[in-house]
């Protein structure tokens, strides 16, 4: 097999860069895309305080030059009364910690103060429309748009870095330029675009097309490189963006070695199960929150052992084992496609990502 883009296999086989921990599925919103099928009440089998501490110590035990960054998510993490204590404990263990509260009246100015005092790295809030009409319809609760913007401004004013998350679907795509203008006015540290995977309640939503994906990738690259945005724009479940950046750098005269030396900035190789792992509210370990195949449970096996040794995780870190276009693509090590979207579309996490704008381009594949 001929060489692929990149001088490295980009395998995060010893430790992930990010651990996403869903501490609860309880939430006061009813978002139409929710991968967790969040409900109003907390589950009785959520990890208890001792199990939470075991998990935090397990994450810290991955070792290396820097332990994984922990993202505490949900549901709404604010529905767990011990959220602040979990953040403090994570920081004591040397972890960077972020969280993703829901845009509801639970998220008050006092909560911002407590999160900052606990040592939180970043708050992430979701904004899925440029107006109350669009956002509140997506979130399923009237008033969410107003409250989200209010607490977002309060978060920035108090000096806590803010990331805004936006879901990319067929319905939100036309609104993205207007959402960008709202986000730019907030003074955020990062804008994260989550490309829909049809899992959970998101099964009912329309996806963008591969042609839309190519156009959106070019727009994101332009915003990142032109200075139009004063903050980085990242993507989730759209690793195809990395190939676009790689080829742009090659066209600009950069060598493979120079491009790959900046692998962290581009997220080369990071995808479901490779650099990312997800722990559910009941301790199930998944390659990501969007790929609902259980690899183990932290109540039975320490997280590092599951991440490193579970057969599913090993498969997902081996792009040469992928099938179809993703398995033949010259960019399979730096991209690899969304394994979650492949699974949602075909039931096979090793199959081709149907959103990939390069998958039908014969010049992009190896034979």
10-residue mean pLDDT series, the chain (367 residues): 63 94 88 65 92 98 87 95 98 97 92 98 96 89 92 97 97 96 96 92 87 95 88 94 89 85 81 97 97 97 98 95 92 94 96 90 49
pLDDT at position 161, please? 97
Cβ within 8 Å of residue 233, ≥6 positions away = 190, 191, 192, 193, 220, 223, 224
Residues 220, 246, 6, 331: is their CA dihedral positive or negative?
A: positive
Helices (H), the chain: 49-60, 83-92, 109-117, 132-139, 144-157, 176-186, 210-226, 240-251, 256-261, 263-266, 303-309, 311-316, 324-328, 339-346
Nearest to 192 by CA among 325, 82, 307, 73: 73
Q: Is 286 a member of any domain?
A: yes
Q: What is the pLDDT of residue 367?
A: 33
Per-residue model confidence (pLDDT) at position 308: 97
- 279 in a domain, yes or no? yes
What's the gap between Cα 258 and its chain centre?
26
Q: Which residues contact 5 (CB under 8 A, 6 or more apart)?
A: 243, 246, 256, 330, 331, 333, 334
In a domain, 315, yes or no: no
Structure tokens at 288: 């990501």
**35 occurs within a structural domain:** yes
Hey, what are 224's tokens?
A: 């990142």
Give me the residues paired with residue 195 across strands: 168
The count of residues in the chain is 367
Q: Do the domain assignments include residue 360?
A: no
DSSP string across 218-236? HHHHHHHHHSSSSS-EEEE
pLDDT at site 362: 45
For residue 35, the model assigns a pLDDT of 61
The total of structural domains in the chain comes to 1
For residues 235 and 167, give the distance between their C-alpha atoms in angstroms, rounded to a whole number.
10
Q: Please indicate, yes or no, if residue 135 is contained in any of the structural domains.
A: yes
Q: Rounded CA gap, 241 and 213, in Å?
A: 9
Residue 166, H or E segment: strand 162-168
* Amino acid 136: pLDDT: 87
Task: Output the pLDDT for position 2.
Answer: 45
Report d(CA 30, CA 104) in Å as an integer. 11
Contact between residue 91 and residue 116 where contact means Cβ atoms under 8 Å apart: no
Residue 39 gets which letter from DSSP?
B
| CATH at 228 | 3.20.20.70
Tell me whether residue 277 is in a domain: yes
Instruction: Specify whether the CB–CB gap between 71 and 19 falls below 8 A.
Output: yes
- 197: domain range? 18-310
**Cα(353)–Cα(336) distance, rounded to whole angstroms?**
9
pLDDT attached to residue 279:
98
Considering the domain boundaries, does residue 90 fall inside one? yes
CA–CA gap between residue 116 and residue 99 (Å, rounded): 11
């Amino acid at each position: 097999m001929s060489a692929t883009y990149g001088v490295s296999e980009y395998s995060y086989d010893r430790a992930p860069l990010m651990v996403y921990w869903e501490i609860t599925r309880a939430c006061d919103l009813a978002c139409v895309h929710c991968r967790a099928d969040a409900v109003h009440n907390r589950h009785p089998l959520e990890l208890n305080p001792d199990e939470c501490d075991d998990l935090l110590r397990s994450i810290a035990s991955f070792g290396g030059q820097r332990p994984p960054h922990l993202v505490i998510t949900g549901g709404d993490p604010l529905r767990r009364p011990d959220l602040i204590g979990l953040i403090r404990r994570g920081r004591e263990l040397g972890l960077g910690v972020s969280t993703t509260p829901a845009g509801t009246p639970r998220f008050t100015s006092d909560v911002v103060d407590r999160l900052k005092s606990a040592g939180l790295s970043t708050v992430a809030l979701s904004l899925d429309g440029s107006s109350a009409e669009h956002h509140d319809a997506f979130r399923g609760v009237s008033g969410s748009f107003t409250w989200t913007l209010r607490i977002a401004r309060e978060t920035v004013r108090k000096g806590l870095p803010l990331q805004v998350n936006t879901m990319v679907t067929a319905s939100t795509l036309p609104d993205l330029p207007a959402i960008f203008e709202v986000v730019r006015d907030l003074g955020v540290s990062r804008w994260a675009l989550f490309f829909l995977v049809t899992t959970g309640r998101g099964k009912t939503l329309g996806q963008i097309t591969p042609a839309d994906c190519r156009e959106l990738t070019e727009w994101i690259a332009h915003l990142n490189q032109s200075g139009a945005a004063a903050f980085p724009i990242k993507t989730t479940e759209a690793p195809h963006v990395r190939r676009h950046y790689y080829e742009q750098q090659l066209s600009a005269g950069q060598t493979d070695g120079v491009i790959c030396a900046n692998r962290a900035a581009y997220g080369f190789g990071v995808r479901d199960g490779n650099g990312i792992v997800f722990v559910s509210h009941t301790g199930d370990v998944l390659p990501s929150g969007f790929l609902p195949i259980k690899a183990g449970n932290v109540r039975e096996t320490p997280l590092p052992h599951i991440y490193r040794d579970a057969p599913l995780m090993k498969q997902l870190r081996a792009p040469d084992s992928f099938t179809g276009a993703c398995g033949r693509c010259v960019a399979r090590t730096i991209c690899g496609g969304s394994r979650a979207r492949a699974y949602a579309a075909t039931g096979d996490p090793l199959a081709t990502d149907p959103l990939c704008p390069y998958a039908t381009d014969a010049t992009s594949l190896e034979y």
